[in-house]
Chains A and B, each alone.
Chain A
Amino acid sequence: MQVDPGSVLVLSAILFAIGVFGVISRRGAVVLLMGVELMLNAGNLALVAAARVTPAGGELGAMDGQVLAFLVLAIAAAEAAVGLALVIALFRHKGSVDVDLARMLRW
């Protein structure tokens, strides 16, 4: 008995789309970050599912998908740290976390 990786991938696509929609439809920087986290999670889900699809080779089987997901996890942590620092800096400058306010550097 095991989970069908295809269905996991479908879930991953749905979660990713939801994350994208969150990024596009919201103004708050924090929510934007959460949307990004959703997208990252969707990506990780796809990676882990793919690890179940690839043929088992060698002693450990194909762990590459999981290892990649692990690395993405670490990078997500870094992204959150920097992103939140930026949110705080933005808040300090503008008194708000509305990303639309941070547009001084456009053309």
Chain B
Amino acid sequence: MNVLPYIWLIPLFPLAGFLVVGTLWTMGVLRGAWVHRVAVTASALAFVVSALAVWDFSGGVERYESLASSAPGRYAVTVGGEEEASRFSVTVAEWVPAGGTVLRGWDPGHRRWSDLRVGWKFSLDALTAVMLLVVTFVGTLIHVYSIGYMAGDPGYGRFFAYLNLFMAMMLTLVLGGNLLVMFVGWEGVGLCSYLLIGFFYDQPFDRESGLTCADAGRKAFITNRVGDFGFLLGALLLVVTFGTLDFDALSAAINGASGYWYAAPLLTGIGVLLFVGATGKSAQVPLYVWLPDAMAGPTPVSALIHAATMVTAGVYMLSRMSALYWHAPGAMFVVAVVGALTALFAATMGVAQYDIKKVLAYSTVSQLGYMFLGAGVGAFVAAVFHLVTHAFFKACLFLGSGSVIARCGHTNDMRLYGGLKKWMPVTYWTFLVSTLAIAGLAPLSGFMSKDEILAQSLFSTRGHWLLWLVGTLGAVLTSFYMFRAVWMTFHGRNRSPEWVREQLRESPRVMTGVLVVLALGAATLGLIGVPHGVSRLVGLGDVNWFAHVLHPVVAARGVVSAAHGGHGHGAGEGVLREGFRVHPTYGQEWGLFLLALGVFATGLGLAWWAYGNDMARARALAPRFAYVRRLLHRKWFVDELYGKLVLKPFYAIARGMDVFDRWVVDGAVNFAAAASELTGQVVKLFQDGIVRHYALWLLGGAVAVLWMMMR
């Protein structure tokens, strides 16, 4: 079955769903069940076609070579190998046909790069395939879940329209074969995120600050703009440097460019700028502030956009540009440091939140930090693997919290929960499985991915023991705040108001079914990517299928290479090296494994100790740690800091601009208008309505012209 040439159709299914639902629902034609029938079908079709395409792709792309050679401008095929990734690309249409344009390059002698042809290029390789399956699968599940969650909402059709649009944009992002198409998706998901955060635009979101949901959406959007500015600068710098935005061509150019004078500093600059974009989209320090507020959106949105898919776009982008980062160690170092700091910093804030969704939000920020830590130390495979596992368990957690919120009178406050295990067993068990996974219990998926990242941060050539230490501390906190949430929500005495308690029951099947599927994924998905270090402990060989598939995409070419996963060949003598700096011994592996379990157990124990007995000890300790609690609960006062350092000066400048605009710019405009009017007032005197005078002027003009001609 030849599906690959039609991969560009995948984003079009949800786009069509968006158009149909968006227009027909607004016109009042589409009502009731037909809304989600259309929307879910659109999403499911995207999943089916994606699955078929990936299946087709896994069968090898060799058979498309003749197709590619028959239409070279349209199709491109790269047949991969051990170190070369297979890739299939289709360019649907020209977009920026700037071929033959002259660009001034950085090269000595200003060599000009002059073939900037950007088309609507969609390509599929292993990395895309992974993302494609995650996005469409989780996305479809969350569509299904939303049928139950959003039932009865007045904006039902609007919600599904946005959700479909988001799917289309996310798929465009993932499938984009060059940075510009990717950027379309990048901005598109930003837009959808804004629309969906502000979905309940007229409702208050944060009673402390009096912000509405619309404000939260705006905050997310503006914060993202800051990051996008860096992203755009990076992209433009890429164009100027390499004259192309195509990922294939970029990889080739970068791999070939390591010897040039500009390589290291310039690539580092580009890498940092692109990473600024990633910090915005993926909520990293210092631009993470929008994600906790993004919880203003409906919970399925939080699960889909702000946990599973969109926020991981930064990680995806970094992996996509891995060639660039391999050649820019400075940039990678920045990524690793920011990732590690975010992982710890967000975890501390998650500890002191009472809003269940905020706990999960900080958890997400923290987990994204781990992904960037992985990417920063060169463990791109592990980072992407964590992305996948995180998509499952975090989606499951969010949806579980949504299930709880929907039953508990739409409050997010964990102080009003408690003992829900009795009423909501399915929600409880799925939530617990996902918590165990994120906290890092041995065979579950979270352990496989997170601890691989930590291990690589310790042993990689790009790693450092300080990074590992910070990450491990974060992991302890992760375990703690997640079990804290479990105890506060599901165990102990129920603290809900009477009217809520009376109607407590399990969520409908359409929601719990999704939870079960996701929990199963969270539990078992780790087995497709068991790190070599772990499989060695139980006497197995290299069973890391995931790394096997993905490694060629993110491997560093032109860099002296070790094998995927770090083990294998010894490091060479090149300037840039991939792989492990130190090859861990068998004992070290065991030590790490046990340490990971210890970390898990520590968090669990602390949570049990503090919150186990119906939060008794936590209540007792609270006054003694009031200051710390306040600090953490108010998120280290970062929002206040931003308010003082960024917003206030910004407002001052804006006010100055306002005055300038009002007096100088408007003044100029008004002057022009007044001058025109004055001229008109004077000139109109000539138009006195007496035809004779017009004729006289005409005659005078004619005589003057004749006189000038004949002089």
Contact = CB atoms under 8 A, between A and B. Distances in A.
Interface in B628-642: none
Contacts of A102: 689, 691
Contacts of A20: 695, 699
Interface string A63-107: 000000000000000000000000000000000000110111111
A23 B687 contact: no
B688 A106 contact: yes
Interface in B656-710: 684, 687-692, 695-696, 699
Interface residues of B, number: 10
A99 B691 contact: yes
A100 B695 contact: no
Contact of B692 (A24, A104, A105, A107): A24
A103 B688 contact: yes
A32 interface: yes
B689 A24 contact: no
Contacts, number: 31
Interface string A8-22: 000000000000100
Contacts of B695: 20, 23-24
A56 to B, nearest CB: 28
Nearest to A27: B692
A27 B693 CA distance: 11
Nearest to B691: A99
B696 A107 contact: no
Overall SS of chain B's interface: helix
Interface string A27-70: 10000100000000000000000000000000000000000000
Nearest to A35: B695
A107 B691 contact: no
Contact of A104 (B689, B690, B696): B689
A107 B684 contact: yes
A69 to B, nearest CB: 21
Contacts of A103: 688-690
A99 B691 CA distance: 7
Contact of A32 (B684, B691, B696): B691
Contacts of B692: 23-25, 27, 99-100
B702 to A, nearest CB: 9
Contacts of B687: 106-107
A6 to B, nearest CB: 15
A32 B689 CA distance: 15
Contacts of A100: 690, 692
Contacts of A107: 684, 687-689
Contacts of B684: 106-107
Contacts of A32: 691
B676 to A, nearest CB: 15
A105 B687 CA distance: 9
A32 B691 CA distance: 10
A56 B687 CA distance: 46
A23 B687 CA distance: 17
A36 to B, nearest CB: 10
Nearest to B685: A107
Nearest to B681: A107
Nearest to B699: A20
A105 B688 CA distance: 9
Contacts of A105: 689
21 contacts: A20-B695, A24-B692, A24-B695, A24-B699, A25-B692, A27-B692, A99-B691, A99-B692, A100-B690, A102-B689, A102-B691, A103-B688, A103-B689, A103-B690, A104-B689, A105-B689, A106-B684, A106-B687, A107-B684, A107-B688, A107-B689
Instruction: Return the 7 tightest CB-CB contacts between A and B, nearest first.
Output: A103-B689, A106-B689, A107-B684, A23-B695, A99-B691, A24-B692, A106-B688
Interface of B: 684, 687-692, 695-696, 699
